[in-house]
Amino acid sequence: MHVHSLNSGMCTLPVLRRFCRESYTPPRELYHTLHRRGMDLVTFSDHDSIDGAECFRSRRDFFLSEEVTCRAPSGTEVHIGVYGMEERHHVELQRRRDDLPRLAAYVAEQRLFAAVNHPFSALTGRRCAGDFDVFSQFRGCEVLNAHLSWAHNRHAEEFAEHNFQIGVGGSDAHTLESAGSAWTEVPGARNREEFLAGLRHGRARAAGYPGTYLKLTGDVLRISLAMMIERPWTRLLAPLLAAVPIFTMGNFLAERSFARKWAGLILEGRSPGFTTGEPQSEESVA
């Protein structure tokens, strides 16, 4: 439900965005790897792109999805996974990506299943309390991200429970090694249509493994090596690889601090981001 291929575009970090990709995984390799690891159905959630799905659209074990980079009213950047869509939906989602409430309304109108990804992560930058009110408008919430710690995922799970959201899981893999390490199950679903219907009706459950410091460090090194293969001149940066473990440890600690802060404000304080009424229906999510 959350996996990237080389169609996810360039890295978003300053300077690196000029020459380093988010992922170097070819879609065909990703598809076959996920099947070997036990996935009955496959989808890609590339950043603002459905190009990687071109070869697979006719297959009964594949459905079209993407991770939309959105802008909340506060200016916060948010990642929303949208699943079981068509190409026309991709066009309309991209038109609405800078207006998150408008995008949420469109998703509800089209009866698409959408989930807010990694809500307690600093991956997309800052947060404000009002952002969590907008997050709660989506039917789904990613409660198991295989690149985030157990604590991050537990905070997301609590948030989803209090807002009557459907919890989903995904590897958030940017390398083949991490692909399929977390997933979403719909018990009893026998095909793509039954799986997507089960998602919309709340019969999904997340499964798999949370992230660790070592896993993150390994994937950053793999992406760096793939970059050097694609762009040989970047091998001049090879001595900097020795600093990767220090960088990822800093990121790991900063993420933990960020999650603890917002969990305290939103979960323990029962601030914005919590509803007090009945569970939301598909028609009422806008």
Total structural domains within the chain: 1
**Is position 266 within any domain?**
yes
**Is position 232 within any domain?**
yes
**Is position 75 within any domain?**
yes
Question: For the segment 192-251, what is each residue's pLDDT rounded down to a tens digit?
Answer: 999 999 999 999 999 999 999 999 999 999 999 999 999 999 999 999 999 999 999 999
CA atoms of 274 and 179, how far apart (whole Å):
32
**pLDDT at site 92:** 97
Quote the Cα angle for 166-167-172, to 5°. Answer: 135
**Is position 1 within any domain?**
no
CA atoms of 186 and 198, how far apart (whole Å):
6
Mean pLDDT, rounded, for 43-58? 94
Mean pLDDT, rounded, for 15-44? 96
**Is position 284 within any domain?**
no
Domain with residue 25: its CATH number is: 3.20.20.140
Instruction: Flag whether pLDDT at 283 surpasses 70.
Output: no
**Is position 280 within any domain?**
no
Query: Strands (DSSP E) along the chain, which ranges?
Result: 65-71, 77-83, 113-116, 140-145, 166-170, 182-185, 205-208
**pLDDT at site 270:** 56
**pLDDT at site 106:** 97
Instruction: Flag whether pLDDT at 284 surpasses 80.
Output: no
**Is position 282 within any domain?**
no
Q: Which domain holds residue 153?
A: 6-274
Instruction: Flag whether pLDDT at 40 surpasses 50.
Output: yes
**Is position 198 within any domain?**
yes
Region label for 47, one of left (φ > 0), alpha (ψ between -120 and 50) or beta (otherwise): beta
